[in-house]
Structure 1
Amino acid sequence: MSNPVVNIWGTSAEAAPAATQAAPAPWDTKWDLGNRAAGGTAWVFSSSPGEKTLRRPVILADGFAPGATKVDDLYDGLENGEYPFVSTLREAGFDVVLLGFSDRTASILDNAEVAIQCIMRAIADREGEHPLTVGGFSMGGLVTRYALAKLERQRMRHETATYLSYDTPHRGAWLPLGVQAFAHYVKDNWGGPLKPVLNSFSHLVNSPAARQMLRWHLETAAGTTLDVADGQHQDRTDFLEALERMGDWPRIPRLLGVANGTGTGGGNDIPAGDSAMEAYGPHLIGRLDAQGTGSQTVARMDKPGQEPTEIRTTGFPELDGAPGGLFPVAPAFNDAANFGIAAMLAGLVNRTEAELTHNASTFVPTVSALGVADIDDHDALYSKIDPDTSDLHDYHCATANEGHTTMTRELGEWIVNKLKEA
């Protein structure tokens, strides 16, 4: 399986050896973008290498991850996996503009201003009148969706004929509440030389973009019982209201999207309520269970000398096993995903390996990536996709549930063929 385009967790020298360095990306020119609130860079891969003039621009925004976009890594994920996406687009006569951000955890609204600058620059540097394609991967799809909608609201010409999202959480992303609580619990209870690593995942979960994207969010590890109707962070509510004020979706372009999950209703075979991770050691005893319906304990953390902390849920769908793009693995952390990251943290605390039953659960359910239904709805999660219910004009689902934002031949070819039709 190819590595995902977006590496959610990034890398950390303290936790694991650095990942293999990606080869330099062969971009032709770059644009420095942004303002005091947010910054970014766009790297242009011309259809005629060496030229700076654009003819058929395709702007694709990076997704959520720690720190600033590294163009070499972004290009590597798009080009050097199962399908050479960038070079195929260039050979078809498209100029690929990879849009990166100085802070990929910043507010989606702030990074949308960077996207607007990129769109305006592409129009200014374009030769002829061929319309733009604008979109992005994961969070990048939300950034550009908002940017285009805002331009239309302000009656500014974005000259974009096609909007494209790649496994974007249009109806919210899912990170198991137990994993969120576990990250905060470890940060709050242990320090020492590993403190930067132990803190990093909690900080990532509590970043502005994560609070806006996650359908349910836990800010602390304090024990609680969470009902399915609760748990949405105010930042997400504010973002959705801001998007609604802009018209929710851009109205001028055709809306295309792909999902790394299946459209058949077939999940990833993680049984609801099954133990996902168990840690037994002198410093920490912990257990995380896969999300199920009804009332259940999804996380229990126990430090000697303290009262145990439990996270309980009521009324949730079976989200961990739902059809959708799987949480990306981190090559620098021995391919740990979301439950795997919790196991890694427990291992660092106890100095002994935790028991990991399930590594990666669903991150972006198919119904979210296609704008079909809210991910609160269990029946919708596990139903075959009805084309008439999607917010998108056209879409394609993966044959099997695969890593979130993984560039596959199946999805890449579908996109290229759709852009050629325009």
Structure 2
Amino acid sequence: MSTPVVSIFTPLSPPEATPRALAAAPYDTHWPLDGGTAWVFYSSADQTQVKRPVILADGFSLGKSNVDALYDGLENGAFPFVTALREQGHDLVLLGFDERSASILDNAAVAIECIKKAIDDREGSAPLTVGGFSMGGLVTRYALAKLESEGFRHETETYISYDTPHRGAWLPIGVQAFAHYVRQHWGGMPLVGELLGRFSTMVNSPAARQLLRWHIETPEGAADQARARTDFLDELARVGSWPTNVRLLGVANGAGNGIGNAIPKGVSAMSSTGPVLNGTELFTQDIGNPVVANLHGANKESVVVRTDGLPDIDGAPGGLFPVTPGLPGNPANFGTAAMLAETLDRKPAELVYNASVFVPTVSAVAAGDIDDRHMLDGKVDPEASELDEFLCASENEGHTVMTEELGRWILDRISAG
């Protein structure tokens, strides 16, 4: 059977009841890179070189970047960003990776090659705009800072991050543990084993370990910051943390007014009464030392998952964990767990909450640590942000969804530059 791709970072359009077939992205040329590909959309039909390049990097998932999906999310949703960008005379360079779940440091090498290629290919001397979506924003942030640390002139005037988890992302610990539990016991099943293990593989990949503020490697493990994330943050600091003499811009799919998504703390989010997983239940995050998952499987050892000292983060302001187009019911984080449960039980799980926050607003605009409940749930303080300028969405919406509000703001700032 074909395995659905559980994509959690690629720019998404709002979900549809019946997913459309993706049309081929109308790029003009492409640049093969070592570890990726850059697809170039010229601003005019008579071009053979970029003139005012805007490099935007793909985010995290498993496997290779899909230019058709990237273009569709940017152009065919609420706002035709690609068309609007080109009408302003900018050339769009969509940067994709051969393995989106590889280390951010590895994919930063691809971004560096792309930046150098854009400079070499460019007609004229217009400065570059460089950034990315979610993880792509961290990839390009590190790439620019690293080039500077090595004395290379990257000729970039503006950096843009689109709902990038500068201070970490959130995936409920119960969901992580459930994904590992399913893979551990049923990942070897014929036909569906790959699907059952795919989410766990994604959660334990190098990039996910670097992105997630709290990670759990096994159902029985402890939730904490992964060593891979600590090492990445140390390396980011080593190269200066941010590029200098560059305008640092960012947008958040989360609201900045302190209003969350109304998901309560410490309540059941997903439960199963099926023959295989009967008694399995996942809970939204609470403070203290709460149970976040009861994992039960027929003839399998049960596991109770607890966390210690985490904030009640599921309902915080921020970009919501994106749905997965093409899968029944458009599952998100708790929804993906429900989908895996239904695959095993052959009956629907009880799903109370499909998604939770994924990138808290304060993380997306680099204005506070998500460990701090007051910063997490409060109004964003512009003076606290490490960005020069940012915009938060009017209300909490799907992570990396392209909206007219955020898209227009980016275009205005690029033009003003």
TM range (shorter): over 0.9
Specify the alignment match of 2:273 in structure 1.
280
Residue 21 in structure 1 maps to residue 21 in structure 2? yes
TM-score, structure 2 normalization? 0.94
The 5 Å alignment of 1:14-413 reads 19-34=19-34, 39-190=35-186, 191-222=189-220, 226=223, 231-285=224-278, 286-334=280-328, 335-413=330-408
Is this contact kept in 2: 1:9–1:66, CA < 8 A? no
Is this contact kept in 2: 1:8–1:66, CA < 8 A? no
Q: Give how far 1:197 is off.
A: 0.6
Q: Give how far 1:170 is off.
A: 0.4
Superposed CA RMSD in Å reads 1.5
**Quick one: distance in 1 between partners of 2:334 and 2:264?**
14
Aligned length: 402
**Quick one: distance in 2 between partners of 1:72 and 1:305?**
44
**Quick one: distance in 1 between partners of 2:381 and 2:64?**
38
**Quick one: distance in 1 between partners of 2:171 and 2:406?**
24
Which deviations, in whole Å up to 9, do the C-alpha atoms of 1:287-337 show, x marking residues without a partner?
Answer: 000011122100011123344201111221111100000001012222100
What amino acid sits opposite 2:190 in the alignment? Answer: G
Q: Which moved more, 1:46-55 or 1:287-296?
A: 46-55
Give the SS at the match of 2:21. Answer: coil
Is this contact kept in 2: 1:28–1:50, CA < 8 A? no
**Quick one: distance in 1 between partners of 2:24 and 2:327?**
23
Where does structure 1 differ by over 6 angstroms across 4 or more consecutive aligned residues?
none
**Quick one: distance in 1 between partners of 2:46 and 2:101?**
33
What amino acid sits opposite 2:298 in the alignment? Answer: P
TM-score, structure 1 normalization? 0.93
Is this contact kept in 2: 1:9–1:330, CA < 8 A? no
What amino acid sits opposite 1:308 in the alignment? Answer: S
Specify the alignment match of 1:3 in structure 2.
none
Q: Give how far 1:274 is off.
A: 1.4
**Quick one: distance in 2 between partners of 1:76 and 1:64?**
17
Unaligned runs of 5+ in 2: 1-5, 11-16
CA distance 1:199–1:104, change in 2 (3 Å): same
Is this contact kept in 1: 2:216–2:222, CA < 8 A? no
Unaligned runs of 5+ in 1: 1-5, 11-16
Is this contact kept in 2: 1:33–1:114, CA < 8 A? yes
- Report sequence identity in percent: 59
**Quick one: distance in 2 between partners of 1:309 and 1:167?**
34
**Quick one: distance in 2 between partners of 1:119 and 1:416?**
20
Give the SS at the match of 1:21. Answer: coil
**Quick one: distance in 2 between partners of 1:261 and 1:21?**
29
Is this contact kept in 2: 1:168–1:364, CA < 8 A? yes
**Quick one: distance in 2 between partners of 1:33 and 1:373?**
35
CA distance 1:346–1:384, change in 2 (3 Å): same
Which deviations, in whole Å up to 9, do the C-alpha atoms of 1:71-113 show, x marking residues without a partner?
Answer: 1110010001000001101000101100000110011000001
Q: Which moved more, 1:51-60 or 1:166-175?
A: 51-60
**Quick one: distance in 2 between partners of 1:348 and 1:314?**
31
**Quick one: distance in 2 between partners of 1:91 and 1:237?**
42
Which deviations, in whole Å up to 9, do the C-alpha atoms of 1:340-366 show, x marking residues without a partner?
Answer: 000111111111110000001000000
